[in-house]
Amino acid sequence: MKRRYECLLAVGTRGQEDSVKETIERLESEFAKEGAAVEQVQKMEKRALAYSPRHLDTAYYVNFVFEAEPSLITKLRNKFKLDPIVFLQHYQQLPAKITARTSKP
């Protein structure tokens, strides 16, 4: 049974600020390759970090809302853990999408 999830990724693009759009598109295609249906991609601009892991001061935050099997979350975590551009990832299960009901007169 597929469930809705939200994934927040912090992407370190030091020296590659011009290619952020291509990087986000590549990450979106990684979700699709694994079998997730991406509903929405929210690009949250570049922000300063509270601490500097990997000697980075700023990162681009990207929020993905997608639908996938629960077992896919582990695969995505492992896959993005090996990606040198992604240095922070957080997954959260969302409530099921509610469709609007039409009232009958």
The answer to whether position 104 is within a domain reads no
In whole angstroms, give the CA distance from residue 19 to residue 26: 11
pLDDT at 51: 81
In a domain, 69, yes or no: yes
Whether 84 maps to a domain, the answer reads yes
State yes or no: pLDDT of 101 exceeds 90. Answer: no
Q: Specify if 98 maps to a domain.
A: no
- Do 93 and 56 contact (CB within 8 A), yes or no? no
Give me the mean pLDDT over the 6-34 stretch.
89
Q: Is residue 13 part of a domain?
A: yes
Domain that holds residue 68: 3-93
Total-model pTM = 0.83
* CATH number of the CATH domain containing 14: 3.30.70.60
Asked whether residue 27 is domain-assigned, the answer is yes
Residue 76 lies in a domain: yes
What is the rounded distance in angstroms from the CA atom of residue 49 to the CA atom of residue 16? Answer: 18
**What's the CA gap between 63 and 28, in Å, rounded?**
10
Q: Can you read off the two tokens belonging to residue 71?
A: 């077992």
Domain assignment present for 22: yes
Residue 62: CB atoms within 10 A of its CB come to 21
Q: Copy the structure tokens of residue 31.
A: 């979700």
Number of domains in the chain: 1
pLDDT at position 8: 96
Digit-coded pLDDT (tens) for 40-96: 999 998 888 888 777 788 899 999 999 999 999 999 999 999 999 998 999 999 998
